[in-house]
Amino acid sequence: MTILLLIRHAENDYVKTGRLAGRLAGIHLNETGRQQARAVADKLTGAPVKAVYSSPLERAIETATPIAEALNLEVTLRPNLVEMDFGEWQNKKLKGLSRFKARLLGCASRRENPSPKRSIASARSWIYSPGSTIRKI
C-alpha cells in the first residue's frame, strides 16, 4: 500500500507581513522554520520513504532538503507542485483583500449578507480566474 505524506513548508517571516505570498520567489525559512524542518526530518529518519518531491519555491525546498538528507534521498523538484497563483492578489495585504471581497460581493460591510445571485457570480469568477487551476501532478 502506498502512503503519501504531504508536508507544508515550515515557518517564514513573510507570513508576519500580513500579505498573501502565493508564488513569490525569495521567501526563505526563518530560524524557527529551519528547526521545524529538522524536527520533521528527525521524526521521519528510518521511515520507508521512497521519494521526496518539492515545489521549486525556496521555502519548500528548504523544508524538503533536511528531510531528504535524513532519508538519504534527493529532493525532486516538481514545477506543478506549487502554491496557488493568486494573480494580482499576490503580495497584497490580506486585510485589504477582505475589504475588496466585500465590495466585490456587493456588501456595504463584511457583516452584511450578499445576495445569492451576486455570490454565485463572484464565486464563478474566482474559480475560473487565470492561473488558479489545480493540475494533476
Catalytic residues: 9, 83
Is residue 108 within 8 Å of residue 66, measured between CB atoms? no
How many Å apart are CA 137 and CA 124, to the nearest integer?
Answer: 24
Sign of CA dihedral 52, 5, 85, 25: negative
Between CA 27 and CA 57 the distance in angstroms is: 8
